[in-house]
Amino acid sequence: HNILAVREMANVAREAGVPLQVSHLIFVGRRTWKTVDDTIAEVERHKNDGVDIAFDTFPYTCGNTTIRVIFPAWAQTGLEGLLDSSDGWAKLRDGFQPLKTFIADSVQLMWAVKPELSHLEGKFFGEIADELKLDPVDAYLTVTRESGTRARVLNHLYSGDDFGDEHALQEAMKHPLNLFEMDTILTSHGHHNPASFGTYPRILGHYVREMKLLTLEDAVHKATGMAAKRMRLGARGLVREGYAADLVIFNPETIGCAADSRTPTTAPAGIEHVLVNGTAVVADSKWCGDGVMAGEWIGRG
């Protein structure tokens, strides 16, 4: 279905005559990882056929989303009622049995909505099930119901795992049609996505310096100029006269971030200065304070 999804989107883009950004090219669950080469080949086929197509990735094998995301299509409308009904609960529970191991081991609660459930945030649903003395599927359904279906989760096994199997992720990351982005929901409450704190430092430190998956120049271009051009942001993404002075000064020998799903708010290292629209927001590796309001709305140039 990864290949079919890309094909469907590309055909729509071709007929409509519009650019297509596949956001994001991720492979959820181990059974999908083996499709990476064929899926990228499908993207290339449409590119060669005249479709303005590209894709993006983030450098983690987990991603944030809502707790509703794995519910089947038939349950999305009226989900609250199904959870309040014994028959609906039973039907949902039966349907989730094939996903029981995934839910227990690979779905992590980020935000429970209800303060009385906040002690469960940051835990995987296998751990939550043990604490609530429930089956993992029942624990998932319970948190869904108690949060009003609004809870956020961090799903794992995105294009790889935490044990070094990242073939799918790395093949997508290094491809010329890929650019980098930070897919996070950053709020003041709950357990965070490590990508909020470590995306670009991790790319530059781990994948460039340590793994040599990309050159430093290619990685910087994918995160800046290529991204700005792809999103049609005028006067952004390059160090050029007349462009906005959005600058990050970092040490390529030390830049990195150890943030992970258990300790997501770990601060990055190696970033010395950050300027937004020419105004310093980080100076000498220190945050300049909440009073600095340098950002501005930007639209397609």
Quick: pLDDT tens for 4-16: 999 999 999 999 9
pLDDT value for 163: 87
Q: Per-residue confidence at 299, pLDDT binned at 50, 70, 90?
A: confident
How far are the Cα atoms of 27, 142, 245, 294, 298 from residue 290, in angstroms, in the given order? 38, 38, 20, 10, 21
DSSP string of 98-144?
A: GGHHHHHHHEEEEE-SSGGGGGGTT-BHHHHHHHHTS-HHHHHHHHH
Give the pLDDT confidence of 177-223 residue by residue, as tens digits: 999 999 898 888 899 999 999 999 999 999 999 999 999 999 999 99
Residue 32 CB contacts under 8 Å (≥ 6 apart), including other chains = 2, 168
Band (254; pLDDT cuts 50, 70, 90): very high
Give exposure, 99-119, as e/b (b: 16+ Cβ within 10 Å): bbebbbebbbbbbbbeeebee
Q: Tell me how long the chain is.
A: 301
pLDDT, residue 187, reads 84
Q: In this predicted structure, what is the pLDDT of residue 172?
A: 98
Q: Which residue segments constitute the domains of the chain, with CATH numbers given?
A: 1-61+160-181 (no CATH), 64-156 (no CATH), 203-292 (2.30.40)
What is this structure's pTM?
0.93
